[in-house]
Amino acid sequence: PPQALPCTQLLVFVTTPDCDGFPSLDSKESYKLSVSEGSLLLSADAVWGALRGLETFSQLVGRDQNGTYYINKTEIVDFPRFPHRGLLLDTSRHYLPLRAILETLDVMAYNKFNVFHWHIVDDPSFPYESSTFPELSKQGAFNAMSHVYTAGDVRTVVEHARLCGIRVIVEFDTPGHTLSWGPGAPGLLTPCYSGKHPSGTYGPINPILNSTYQFVTSLFQEVSSVFPDFFLHLGGDEVDFTCWKSNPEIHAFMKQMGFGEDYRKLESFYIQRLLDIVSSLGKGSILWQEVFDNGVKLRPDSIIHVWKSSKPYMDEMADVTKAGYQALLSTPWYLNRISYGQDWMAAYQVEPLKFEGSAKQKDLVIGGEACMWGEYVDVTNLTPRLW
């Protein structure tokens, strides 16, 4: 074969660098790659596109049996179909050491994912070290000395992600999924009642107290400054009304507010105030679908995250986008639900836009997320289960 011409440089042109900025939903990830005799050119509008192009370039480089590296003449024009391509990790059901998170970010970059959805706290444990409320992790982490994410850890994750063109969207899921918040924030959770007396157990965040909203404001103030992305994920899933129903003060409040027996109205009351708080902090909100399903009054720029399989998820995607909200799809991508065989095929064959709706509606689907919930996952099996 003719002697291959040596290529010594890959030239990277970026129109609008913004090297020190953070990626966002609107970031341009498109790039052009041109490989020909004596010329290797990667051009992109933004650094984020350059990162994507570098990954592609690295996938084109081969090595022959003599050990020589080579690349074929190639022309690539590339851009993502969906701007939000995320991965959820759950660090509450099991603590994940920092190295596991950083390794995951690296592999995400190899696969052109651009959102790390950090489901950082939940019922079982609270590993996030808050500077405003240090007791939260002191009382709520599995082990307050070892199984925590310090402010330094969080900074490391955010920066490592940034360098890979990955946004970090943190989720502080409320008002349900908050049992671990209780020990470090007395009075935050609703005391459940057994007949006339407190049973000693707790339920979701107590939506009727002013102290709740003061707490939430302070916490989210801190979270908003620690996590630079415009969006925060506020959760809002699986709120069990049983505890609220058992509590006499809440009962009284329901009466006072004219909510009747419809506890979804109480949930809505909480969420709306939460959304206002978060908005006033200059952040956007992403919420699990229940918030939409339960008729909560949302802000028009709220993003709804579809995850439930109780009704065909494509119907939910249609409903959410019909109502004018942007949607994220996760339902068919719950990677924690393992099964025997090549299940990657089922995930691959999902078509996110396969629902009845106008072109305008379909534009509201901004992407999706693969979710790796942590009930059965920690650092021992995370990587082979995910990839």
Partner 1 sequence: AMGRAVGLAGLLVGFFLVSAVLVSTSLRHGAPRAEPGPESAEWEDTSGSGPEDSLWPLPQWVRTSRHQLQLAPDRFQLLHGAGSSAGPACGLLQDAFRRYYEYMFGQSRWRKRSRGPLGDRAAPELLQLQVVIESQHSGCHSYPHLGSSEAYHLTVTEPVAVLKADEVWGALRGLETFSQLVHEDGYGSFLVNETEIDDFPRFAHRGILLDSSRHYLPVKSILTNLDAMAFNKFNVLHWHIVDDQSFPYQSIYFPELSDKGAYSYNHIYTPSDVRLVIEYARLRGIRVIPEFDTPGHTQSWGKGQKDLLTPCYDEEQPTGSFGPVNPILNTTYDFMTKFFKEISSVFPDAYIHLGGDEVNFNCWKSNPDVKEFMKKQGFGTDYAKLESYYIQKILDIVSSYNKGYMVWQEVFDNKAQLKPDTVVQVWMENNYAHELSSVTGAGFTAILAAPWYLDYISYGQDWKKYHSVEPLNFPGSEKQKKLLIGGEACLWGEFVDATNLTPRLWPRASAVGERLWSSSNVTDLADAYKRLTNHRCRMLRRGISAEPVFVGYCAHEAR
Positive or negative torsion for Cα 172, 184, 227, 387 = negative
> Cα 193 to the chain's mean position, in Å?
34
Dist. CA 98–CA 196, nearest whole Å: 46
Dist. CA 184–CA 178, nearest whole Å: 11
Dist. CA 85–CA 108, nearest whole Å: 10
Nearer to partner 1, 90 or 319 (CB): 90
For 198, the token pair is 């407190």
Q: Least distance from C-beta 169 to partner 1, angstroms? A: 23
Region near partner 1 per CB under 8 A, out of 55-63, 72-80, 111-119, 370-378: 370-378
Q: Least distance from C-beta 141 to partner 1, angstroms? A: 9
> Cα 166 to the chain's mean position, in Å?
11
Residue from 14, 54, 164, 377 that binds partner 1 (CB under 8 A)?
377
Instruction: Note whether 376 binds partner 1 by CB under 8 A.
Output: yes
Residue from 338, 354, 356, 363 that binds partner 1 (CB under 8 A)?
338
**Residues shown for the chain:** 387
So which residues are the catalytic ones? 238
Q: How many CB atoms lie within 10 A of CB 374?
A: 21
Region near partner 1 per CB under 8 A, out of 157-165, 232-240, 298-306, 375-383: 375-383
Widest distance between CA atoms in the chain: 89
Instruction: Note whether 379 binds partner 1 by CB under 8 A.
Output: yes
CB 76 within 8 A of CB 359: no
Nearer to partner 1, 340 or 348 (CB): 340
Nearer to partner 1, 337 or 360 (CB): 337
Nearer to partner 1, 21 or 97 (CB): 97
DSSP letters, 119-163, are E---SS---B--SS-THHHHHHSSSTTTS-B-HHHHHHHHHHHHH
Instruction: Note whether 341 binds partner 1 by CB under 8 A.
Output: yes
Instruction: Note whether 348 binds partner 1 by CB under 8 A.
Output: no
Instruction: Note whether 75 binds partner 1 by CB under 8 A.
Output: no
Per-residue b or e along 142-169, where b marks 16 or more CB atoms closer than 10 Å to that residue's CB:
bebeebbbeeebbeebbebbbebbbbbb
Residue from 146, 194, 242, 309 that binds partner 1 (CB under 8 A)?
146
Instruction: Note whether 103 binds partner 1 by CB under 8 A.
Output: no
> Cα 286 to the chain's mean position, in Å?
9
Q: Least distance from C-beta 95 to partner 1, angstroms? A: 6
Cα three-residue angle 28-88-145, rounded to 5 degrees? 120
Residue from 337, 346, 354, 360 that binds partner 1 (CB under 8 A)?
337
For 207, the token pair is 């939506």
Instruction: Note whether 147 binds partner 1 by CB under 8 A.
Output: yes
Instruction: Note whether 143 binds partner 1 by CB under 8 A.
Output: yes
Dist. CA 18–CA 16, nearest whole Å: 6
Dist. CA 379–CA 97, nearest whole Å: 7
Q: With contacts defined by CB under 8 A, how many residues of the chain interact with partner 1? A: 29
Nearer to partner 1, 2 or 340 (CB): 340
Q: Least distance from C-beta 147 to partner 1, angstroms? A: 5
Region near partner 1 per CB under 8 A, out of 27-35, 67-75, 244-252, 377-385: 377-385
Footprint of partner 1 on 108-127 (CB under 8 A)? 124-125
Footprint of partner 1 on 29-58 (CB under 8 A)? none
- Give the footprint of partner 1 on this chain (CB under 8 A): 93-95, 97, 99, 124-125, 142-143, 146-147, 336-342, 374-381, 383-385
